[in-house]
Amino acid sequence: MAQDQDGATRRGLLRATGLTAAGVAIGAAGAPGYPPPSPIDAGGVQDGRVRFPEWRGDAEPPSAPTPNPLPPGERVGYAIIGLGRISLEETLPAFAESRMSRPVALVSGSPEKARTVARRYGIAEGSIYSYEELERLRENREVQAVYIGLPNAMHREYVVRVAGIGKHVLCEKPMATSPEEAAEMVTSCARANVRLMIAYRCQYEPYNRAAIEIVRRGELGKLRFIEATNVQSSGPAPQWRFSRRLAGGGALPDIGLYCLNAARYVTGEEPDQLFASSYSPPGDPRWAEIEESVSFGLRFPSGVVANCLCGYDAFNDKTLRLHFERGTVEMPDAFSYEGQQMYVSRREGQIAVREQRRIPHKNQFALELDHFSECVRANRQPHTPGEEGAHDQALMAAIYRSAAEGRPIQAPKPPGPTRGPAPSSES
């Protein structure tokens, strides 16, 4: 009788949680010698994935669904080109948090480093290539996509070569060093019928996506002004970032690009006028070839004005501030790898409040990789395709021109839409 009651309670719980017919929790026996787990504790399998009923009270936000990674053999296999900091410190570790992507090959000019990295990530020694051997990737059936983590000026050559062997390309930002290079990269990938995505990680990062939502929903009224800052302090030369030939520019394409791209994705508009000023403190060899800082303003068709600032010689600050008619959104570390925060100031009744919104953490590099993998698997246009990067290149060229001529200029317009469908909430 007690057992029947127990069974009835368990069936009731399963119905309440949606884990009924297909839920295996009914059969969850637990370990011998202990009471069997309740359906809330054991969860169940539904539509091929494990689900747990909500275990917290409804005062709390609901838990995220249990991760549902693809089996290794079904994931999109990536070759990583260039084993520098972004590849080793962010992208490769992010595969461990990805659901649809796995690293299967390396391309590097440093054989010992490549062998060391390959061992750490379970990549076969036979899947390590030199830059000269890149075309051999064509025969590697495990490789469907290639991630390019090379200095900016090498992006064009490697995107074109990867397209030439029929693999899809995820290329780091900035896409290129000129609008002409960017156009060639878009055309090469279109001609080869491969997908090209630019690694605009912030467009996949949950806090930045929440900011976009606040603007689109009109939660705080109309957006009026944007302030975007991306400054950091640089170490000594030599580094490729200080070389015009390898970097194509200074703080603007490296970090100012985050401010520029954010102003575009937050508003969902393209600027029609811009004004810029750049500066390099004299006497420092690091700024002999490139600019140390750029401040630029963008005016959008809706009237929104964005004030952006980037610099290579100031203490780290990566803040995005959105000023609305009826509130303010502040995001310290908006462009950082992690540690995003969001503060919303607005009126509530008779008082002004400043509240912190907490959004569950997700690794933005893993989200970016999985978005591209999803697009490769579904043969779909990515959210940040080559066209998105190409328009930033055109705008950066115009920003440099405005700074050189010391006057506001009309911003170029993209020939068509620059973004594909928004990323799904799970990838």
d(CA 8, CA 3): 9
Q: How far is the CB of 255 from ligand NDP (least distance, A)?
A: 9
Q: Which residues are catalytic?
A: 173, 258
Length of the chain: 427
What would the two tokens of residue 257 be? Answer: 């690009």
Q: How far is the CB of 312 from ligand NDP (least distance, A)?
A: 13
Q: How far is the CB of 263 from ligand NDP (least distance, A)?
A: 18
Q: Which is nearer to ligand NDP, 157 or 270 (CB)?
A: 157
Is 300:306 a contact under the CB 8 Å cutoff?
yes
d(CA 337, CA 361): 11
Q: Which is nearer to ligand NDP, 172 or 374 (CB)?
A: 172
Q: How far is the CB of 63 from ligand NDP (least distance, A)?
A: 29
Q: How far is the CB of 314 from ligand NDP (least distance, A)?
A: 18
Q: Which residues bind ligand NDP (CB under 6 A)?
A: 82-87, 108-110, 113, 149-152, 172-173, 199, 201, 240, 246, 254
Residue 352 bridge partners (DSSP): 347
Q: Which is nearer to ligand NDP, 246 or 305 (CB)?
A: 246
d(CA 141, CA 169): 15
* Burial state string for 82-103 with b = 16 or more CB within 10 A and e = fewer than 16: bbbebbbebbbebbebbbbbbb
> What separation, in Å, do the N-terminal and C-terminal C-alpha atoms of the chain show?
47
Name which of 265, 177, 250, 264 is nearest 403 in CA terms: 250
Q: Which is nearer to ligand NDP, 108 or 278 (CB)?
A: 108
Q: Which is nearer to ligand NDP, 243 or 341 (CB)?
A: 243
Q: Which residue is nearest to ligand NDP (CB)?
A: 84
Q: % helix / strand / coil in the chain, to the nearest 5?
A: 40, 25, 40
Q: How far is the CB of 295 from ligand NDP (least distance, A)?
A: 20
d(CA 28, CA 378): 36
SS3 state of residue 198: strand
DSSP 376-392: HHHT---SSBHHHHHHH
Q: Which is nearer to ligand NDP, 230 or 427 (CB)?
A: 230
Q: Mutual orientation of helices 257-267 and 386-405 as an angle, nearest 10°?
A: 120
Q: Which is nearer to ligand NDP, 149 or 256 (CB)?
A: 149
What would the two tokens of residue 26 be? Answer: 């009914």
DSSP 173: S
Name which of 157, 201, 150, 144 is nearest 388 in CA terms: 201
Alpha carbon 160 to its chain centroid, in Å, reads 22
d(CA 365, CA 90): 7
Q: How far is the CB of 170 from ligand NDP (least distance, A)?
A: 11
